[in-house]
């Protein structure tokens, strides 16, 4: 089957389904977890967890070639898992199913084995503007290696492929077409079957990235007619570190091995090596046996469900979310294709995506923010990134309503609430008045005297819990005067931060003290900048070098509660400040 929209009412028992997923039954930030980050990874049903546990407790042995019972059991389970995948995709032959670490490795395998072998200067590779980086970068690398060039299918304003341009982009120079079945960033379902038909008309082969498709609707590779199809286990209720490459048998037989080692050989001597047959010639080394068996359990679990009811329920969640979000004036939906899976991307006017994600997390809601590994798509849309809520069958309409209600509350608090309702201090409100008048802007606003700095730091330390401390940081960021636009240059921009951060410094020759000025487009980062400025501004290079930033952050709980991307951004700011200080030692 391929994707087809559904609209009838669902008979799915979501309450019963949720009981199969243990991770969902926990609290985050003192709220019941609402997990809306399923496009990044899905949660795992009990049977997957138990199958992997049982394998390691009872059947853990290396597969193939062994003569003992445990290895035989492991081999049977491992190869049965391959057959389960073949059935799941309706592939013609089991030896067309290649185990990989994930969709990314599968694409790299095809790019390096097929692409590097058959591409030549003047050949063309056709991608789309909505591809994940994993379906862009491998083709860029092989294009550089072979002299081939890359063309791109553009998008319509709704976030759909502009299929009217496809006949013009395809030619007798086109050798490979690589497209996503479903966009991970905006949820668009692409007309893969038609793309395959047109590509084959010019004798091009087609690779389909199905990472975002297989959990949402049945996939039949024979009906699609594609030459290669890839997906990752963790996106379809399976374990991480396991993925699948389906390839047409005749193409796989023409392709040389990509990685070499054990298992992918028949005979080895110092005079030469004879490679194994399919599928083993592409599976060098000890495979991820537990991952393969866990993935098979996940696919079996999914196939035992009523897939139509699952699809209906997900569609109901998405439509309900989009209808409610459209009623909020500050929200702009991104990606409004006619055919979509249960992915909703949006931005909020006046509030950075990171801040929204962080504030939702304080209410127990997990969403994804950023460019979603689709930077060319974001450039095409003219935005830096989005907030993405992605739904799975175990999500509920009540969760959607709680998510939208929480979002409305956040927007009201961040854009329209009175500062007087927030915790504040006299020193904070008058920080610019206590600044050293000898410093030029923008450094003067950060040069509070030590007593004022200590008062602000004490307010952070005395906060009763992380939520209170977070509100204090957000208020500090809100009250921090922004850098004027001419200070926000590319030269002053720090890399390693998910949001944009600009940093400048001033060295006072008389006092030998350093002063820093910084800004960000994310309010939480502005609050963290203010914290760092309080710790280091007006100190000598030696004093800055001796500061224990990590200890201070650990005491405040920043490294525990901040996401890894924000933690890395905070460290990038500190690293740059320490690097500047080192120049003046």
- Helices marked H in 261-391: 289-303, 307-325, 353-361, 375-381
In a domain, 425, yes or no: no
| Rounded CA separation 159/172 (Å) | 28
Reduced to 3 states (helix: H, G, I; strand: E, B; else coil), residue 37 is: strand
pLDDT reported for residue 416: 80
Based on the fold, state whether residues 177 and 281 are members of the same structural domain. yes
For residues 325 and 180, membership in a common domain is answered with no
Give the mean pLDDT of 281-295: 96
For 226, half-sphere exposure in the C-beta direction (CA atoms, 13 angstrom radius) is: 30
- Across the chain, what does the average pLDDT equal? 90
Give DSSP secondary structure letters for 567-579: HHHHHHHHHHHHH
Residues 437 and 526 in one domain: yes
Domain harbouring 406, CATH code: 3.90.1150.10
DSSP 99: E
CATH number at residue 530: 3.90.1010.10
Burial class for 418, CB neighbours closer than 10 Å (0-12, 13-18, 19+) = exposed
Q: pLDDT category, 184, cuts 50, 70, 90?
A: very high
pLDDT at position 96, please? 98
Residue 170 covered by a domain: yes
For residues 91 and 194, membership in a common domain is answered with yes
Whether the pLDDT of residue 155 is over 80: the answer is yes
Q: Are residues 183 and 137 in the same domain?
A: yes
Q: Which of 20-34, 65-79, 137-151, 498-512 has the lowest mean pLDDT?
A: 498-512
Claim to verify: residue 141 and residue 221 sit in the same structural domain: yes
Q: Residue 160 belongs to a domain with what CATH number?
A: 3.40.640.10
Instruction: Kindly state whether residues 538 and 467 are assigned to the same domain.
Output: yes
Residue 423 lies inside a defined structural domain of this protein: no
What phi and psi, each to the nearest 5 degrees, are found at residue 566? -70, -35
Give the residue numbers spanning the domain of 576.
433-583
284 DSSP assignment: -
Q: Give the active site residues.
A: 373
pLDDT tens for each residue of 438-472: 566 777 666 555 666 677 788 888 887 777 888 88
Question: Where would I find the beta strands (DSSP E) of 59-120?
Answer: 97-100
d(CA 477, CA 525): 7
In terms of domains, do 239 and 365 share one? no
Q: Is the pLDDT of residue 431 over 80?
A: no
Residues 242 and 354 in one domain: no
In a domain, 4, yes or no: no
Pairwise pLDDT comparison (348 vs 418), residue with the higher score: 348
What is the predicted pLDDT for the residue at 139?
Answer: 98
> What's residue 48's pLDDT?
98
Section 478-484 average pLDDT? 85
In 3D space, the residue among 195, 290, 183 whose CA is nearest the CA of residue 241 turns out to be: 290
pLDDT, one tens digit per residue, over 106-123 is 999 999 999 999 999 999
Together in a domain, 238 and 342: no
Confidence at residue 566, expressed as pLDDT on a 0 to 100 scale: 66
């Amino acid at each position: 089957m391929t994707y087809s929209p559904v609209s009838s009412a669902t008979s799915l028992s979501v309450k019963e389904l949720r009981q199969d997923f243990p991770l969902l039954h926990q609290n985050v930030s003192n709220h019941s977890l609402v997990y809306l980050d399923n496009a990044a990874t899905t949660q795992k049903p009990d049977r997957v967890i138990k199958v992997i546990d049982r394998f390691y407790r009872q059947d853990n042995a290396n597969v193939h070639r062994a003569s003992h019972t445990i290895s035989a059991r492991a081999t049977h389970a491992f190869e049965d898992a391959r057959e389960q995948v073949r059935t799941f995709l309706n592939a013609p032959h089991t030896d067309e199913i290649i185990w990989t670490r994930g969709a990314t490795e599968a694409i790299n395998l095809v790019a390096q084995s097929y692409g590097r072998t058959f591409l030549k200067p003047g050949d063309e590779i056709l991608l789309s503007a909505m591809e994940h980086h994993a379906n862009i970068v491998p083709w860029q690398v092989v294009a550089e290696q072979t002299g081939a060039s890359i063309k791109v299918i553009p998008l319509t304003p709704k976030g759909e492929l502009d299929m009217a341009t496809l006949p013009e982009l395809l030619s007798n120079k086109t050798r490979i077409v690589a497209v996503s079945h479903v966009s991970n960033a905006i949820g668009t379902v692409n007309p893969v079957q038609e793309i395959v038909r047109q590509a084959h008309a010019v004798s091009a082969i087609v690779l389909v990235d199905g990472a975002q498709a297989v959990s949402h609707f049945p996939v039949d590779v024979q009906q699609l007619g594609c030459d290669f199809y890839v997906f990752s286990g963790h996106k379809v209720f399976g374990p991480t570190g396991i993925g699948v490459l389906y390839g047409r048998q005749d193409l796989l037989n023409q392709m040389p091995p990509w990685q070499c080692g054990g298992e992918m050989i028949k005979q080895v001597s110092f005079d030469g090596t004879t490679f194994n047959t399919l599928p083993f010639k592409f599976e060098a080394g000890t495979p991820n046996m537990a991952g393969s068996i866990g993935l098979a359990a996940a696919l079996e679990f999914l196939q035992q469900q009523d897939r139509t009811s699952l699809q209906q329920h997900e569609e109901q969640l998405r439509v309900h979310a989009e209808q409610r979000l459209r009623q909020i004036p500050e929200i702009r939906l991104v990606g409004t294709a006619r055919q979509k899976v249960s992915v909703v991307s949006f931005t909020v006017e006046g509030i950075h995506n990171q801040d929204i994600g962080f504030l939702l997390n304080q209410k127990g809601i997990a969403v994804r923010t950023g460019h979603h590994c689709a930077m060319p798509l974001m450039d095409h849309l003219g935005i830096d990134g989005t907030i993405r809520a992605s739904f799975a069958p175990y999500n509920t309409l009540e969760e959607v309503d709680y998510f939208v209600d929480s979002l409305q509350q956040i927007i009201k608090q961040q854009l329209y609430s009175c500062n007087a309702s927030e915790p504040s201090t006299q020193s904070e409100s008058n920080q610019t008045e206590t600044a050293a008048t000898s410093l030029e802007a923008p450094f003067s606003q950060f040069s509070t005297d030590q007593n004022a700095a200590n008062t602000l730091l004490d307010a952070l330390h005395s906060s009763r819990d992380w939520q209170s401390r977070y509100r204090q940081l957000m208020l500090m960021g809100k009250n921090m005067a922004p850098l004027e636009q001419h200070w926000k240059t590319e030269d002053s921009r720090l890399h390693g931060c998910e949001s944009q951060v600009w940093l400048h410094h001033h060295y006072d020759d008389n006092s030998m003290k350093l002063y820093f000025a910084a800004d960000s487009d994310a309010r939480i980062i502005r609050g963290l900048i203010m914290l760092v400025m309080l710790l280091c501004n007006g100190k000598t290079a030696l004093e800055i070098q001796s500061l224990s930033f990590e200890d201070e952050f650990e005491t405040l709980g920043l490294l525990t509660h901040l996401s890894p991307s924000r933690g890395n951004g905070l460290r990038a700011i500190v690293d740059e400040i320490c690097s500047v200080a080192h120049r003046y030692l």
